[in-house]
Amino acid sequence: MYEDAKNSGRLVWVGVGFKVLNSMQMSFVGAILYGCPRLLNSK
């Protein structure tokens, strides 16, 4: 019983983590696209 709860909880965390990583990835790509030209210009 405890193992089942742990496994289902892990699945929930994996789903949440995946959504968070996905949104972070999108903002990360946006930050790279926005920041790279500025970084290159500052050199």
pTM above 0.75, yes or no: no
Buried/exposed code over 8-41 (b: 16+ C-beta within 10 A; e: otherwise): eeeeeeeeeeeeeeeeeeeeeeeeeeeeeeeeee
Averaged pLDDT, 15-41: 87
Separation between Cα atoms, residue 2 and residue 6, nearest integer Å: 6
**Residue 42 corresponds to which tokens in the numbers above?**
């500052």
Averaged pLDDT, 14-19: 91
pLDDT score at 7: 77
**Residue 29 corresponds to which tokens in the numbers above?**
């790509």
Averaged pLDDT, 13-29: 90
